[in-house]
Structure 1
């Protein structure tokens, strides 16, 4: 969605078009062979991407072909994989010059589908790391571009903090997003660990132009800052809690004045998730019998988390 702001031309929704070799190039060696194949069973998409790669390689050493590609780009003859700079960072810088863009956000396309198709949590995490590295690399030489980083839904502050710090270290913005940390309530923790550290990182990223909020069934201290929603009830560890049914990419509507959150997911989909939901395996705490008893007997946080 290009739009003008003073002397700048901004684009809040532009994509890069990855090809079959793109994501593996940024993946850890142990993850690379386990990635979901590019484009899955869609032979048409694989053929389009392969043809676009061949065309891009041909015009790298041919000024006439480059000029033709630039003219086709400005006439909007080709978009997607065959557009100028679809997956080539140098060509994308030239496209930015031609269009006069002052700044824009860059989203992944087919590689994102490749990542989220992973059923193995380890491969999903590795794919997200590769995706973020690739976006950062694509945007590194042109500060007009901001690759949009991705996070996994986190079942604890340690995992969430590690992901947010990784996004920050790559210099990627992450607009209009909620970091959801669950299973940190009285029963899920057990107890309620402090989430102050991640609130600091979130506040830092907001200062850099992201728009995070933090949502958790855990707790935070008076030293925390930023938009934080905590002490959620029912906590994720309670049977039937909506917090346990959230999945990556869900829209969460925050009604501040009504003290309420709405998960904007159709009821039939939530019912399907609830039917296949299995609570995460937790440590039985054999060396801490009183803590295990606390987990079993503690009441909800909105009633004081008492036994």
Structure 2
């Protein structure tokens, strides 16, 4: 370790996080000092320690402790990536992009290491064998899981989303219109098919997308797109109603099968609600059998429940 003038350090490194909240870090440095020095190369380029650099500069500490390394540009980038991955303020997509680039660099620098696509996460014994290998033979996934605490499945899925998702899918994810689970299904298709489907399916559930992907593989993307465009969409209210019915039938089955009884005012109130619900269900069925605007259904606010009641129902189910 040595000390250098902080003004001579070059911070031109895309992996550095210089603008994040460093208030807690500053307090830590003021209390216990710098535990981990900055990492710079022989040209004083900052490789790791962006937040520490910002904190030291704001505190007016100069010169600053550094460790100088002599590595090639790919090794330097991998060091920056390693530090970036243990941070908590990266978005999911930033993590995925960083993991993908890290995997690419690692496998280029260590060609004897196990390739991530050959990683078998289904055999427990296989994982034990890896931990006994030297680091330059272990897979990027294995080492990264050890460093970050992320599971190997999470890491592998993240890399696959970054490398297999089309530009349109990534755009929808960045806008918050597709989540990771939906994307995991879409990337089972090639990128051209993803481009044709993404705008049509981003509001559908992961389960629905899984079924659509299956259809694409069976009948082709054009036929599937045409089917989506010509098939009436189930209203959101009916989707919610379907979910409620499944939950309700599950609980009712338990009550009836186990003959659960309780002589309390709450149960009497529930049974009154069941009677009202039965009337409205009959009206719903009748409205589809004989459409008529004169049905006297209850207003939607009559069905509202408070957050506490809803939370209790969720816990029960």
| TM-score, structure 2 as length reference | 0.22
- Give the number of the structure whose residues are more often helix, by fraction: 2
User: TM-score normalised to the size of structure 1?
Assistant: 0.22
- Bigger CA radius of gyration: 2
Q: 1 or 2 for the larger relative contact order (CA 8 Å, sep ≥6)?
A: 1
**Structure 1 or 2: larger strand share?**
1
